[in-house]
Amino acid sequence: MKSNKTYTEIESCRACGAEDLATIISLGEHPLANSLKVDPDQEEEKFPLTLMFCSTCCLVQLRETVPKEVLFKSYVWVTGTSKTARDFREEFYKSTTKYFENKNLFVVEVASNDGTFLEPFKKGGHKVLGVDPAENIAQIANSNGIQTISEFFGLKAADSIVDDYGQADCVIARNVVPHSEELHEVIAGIERCLKNDGVGAIEFHYTQAILDGVQYDSIYHEHLSYFSLYSICHLLERYNLFPFDILESPISGGALVVYFSKVKRVASNKFEERKISENKTGILKKEKWEEFAGACIAHKEKLLALLKAETDKESRLIGYGASARSSTLLNFCGINNFGLACIADGNTIKHGKFAPGANIPIVSPDLAFSEMPDTILLLAWNFKDEILSVLKEKYRFRGKVIIPLPSSPHVIKI
Ligand SMILES: [Zn+2]
């Protein structure tokens, strides 16, 4: 393993250990996507960002690993701020509890963030426990009545949870396994926490959505592994965890929840059909990912041409949504504060700061719209419907919105 002081590079697959890794695309040098700057002149370290493909287990993955202590100690994403996430949690709750017959459950959530997804379980009379390494976010959860331990989840944390509370009927890990440097520790910890007749649920941004929608903006240093159903099953089965069902999730622009158990269950039709479809779509083939690399570069050129057409007309152009993904998009495409006057974002933690690398000020939507923008680049396009209704109804915005992704960038008028 090569290393310098702040990052390392893998030489074998994060999931299966095979050494036949192929480079899909190098996205260049990027700052950390969630490290917002407090001062535009602040120096920031940049790291290479390279996507690889494992020919053995088909896991798409980052070559570079930035230590988790650097990435996650103070986290700016708060689940509860997203309406899409709040709506999906009800569906997730119903889908997850249907495997249990009206039993009172003990539910553990790994990387539970502000406890948004545990809330319906608590309201439903179940016992809940969250685990999240971000101290600032765990505090929010605890003050909202969702008991949350602030630490990184692995075998050690799993052991102490089992000692203190017993094994869980249900262990949830939403959008955390792809972010885990210690992938095997997390899966082994989930296995340790789960009762023999329990059900686990792992949610991940689905590579089929990434491939089909050219969602290169979802590639950033926190997001180490990019799963297909095939590659997550390959990993879980190493730990005698047997996947049997899936649930589609609208999070991240197309995610998948996989349900699994320690005792084999009859797989659902949906699960079997998805496994068959992955053999046909090319998601498990290196050649298809090489096409993806070409599509990323073509996408960048088209997006820059759209933005240039707006700036040539001297339109006031702003961004909306200073998400981690926006950082990859802005830095890969080379969009900076000469292209966008500011980025509006509803999360108050981000106000007064600057987008990493691009140095664009992040402001409240109220402030951004007080200056009458002509055109909006919808950086948080994965919350498109929710944001467009805010633009129209709250801010009475009438003008052009550039939708950068998924697939080809395009302009709509609202
Ligand atoms: Zn592999």
DSSP notation for 3-41: E-SS-EE-SS-TTT--S-EEEEEEEEEE--TT--BSSTT
What is the Å distance from ligand 1's center to 34 Cα? 27
Q: From the CA of 9, how far away is ligand 1's center (Å)?
A: 15
351: three-class secondary structure by DSSP? coil
345: its two tokens: 């974002």
Distance between Cα 228 and ligand 1 center (Å): 12
Residue 400 tokens read as 């052009």
**Ligand 1 centroid – CA 23 distance (Å):** 13
DSSP state, residue 177: G
Compute, in angstroms, the gap from residue 232 CA to the centroid of ligand 1.
10
Interval between CA 57 and ligand 1 midpoint (Å): 4
Longest Cα separation, the chain:
65
Domain residue limits, the chain: 2-64, 79-284, 302-413
**Distance between Cα 8 and ligand 1 center (Å):** 18
Residues with CB under 5 A from ligand 1 (ion): 13, 15-16, 18, 54, 56-57, 59
Centre a 10 Å sphere on the Cβ of residue 242 and count the other Cβ atoms it contains: 17
User: Are domains 79-284 and 302-413 of this chain identical in fold?
Assistant: yes
Residue partners of 18: CB distance under 8 A and separation at least 6: 12, 54, 55, 56, 57
Of 289, 237, 245, 235, the residue nearest 265 (C-alpha): 245
Q: How far apart are CA 189 and CA 159, in angstroms?
A: 8
Tell me which fold the domain 302-413 belongs to: Rossmann fold (3.40.50)
Q: How many angstroms is it from 51 CA to the middle of ligand 1? A: 13
CA 406 / ligand 1 centre spacing (Å): 27
Looking at CATH, the fold of the domain delimited by 79-284 is given as: Rossmann fold (3.40.50)
Distance 17 CA to ligand 1 centre (A): 6
Read off the pTM: 0.94
Q: What is the pLDDT along the chain (414 residues), one digit of tens a residue?
A: 444 568 999 999 999 999 999 999 999 999 999 889 999 888 899 999 999 999 999 999 999 999 877 776 555 555 556 778 888 999 999 999 999 987 899 999 999 988 999 999 999 999 999 999 888 888 999 999 999 999 989 999 999 999 999 999 999 999 999 999 999 999 999 999 999 999 999 999 999 999 999 999 999 999 999 999 999 999 999 999 999 999 999 988 999 999 999 999 999 999 999 999 999 999 999 999 999 999 999 999 999 999 999 888 888 999 999 999 999 999 999 998 878 999 999 988 899 999 999 999 999 999 999 999 999 999 999 999 999 999 999 999 999 999 999 999 999 999
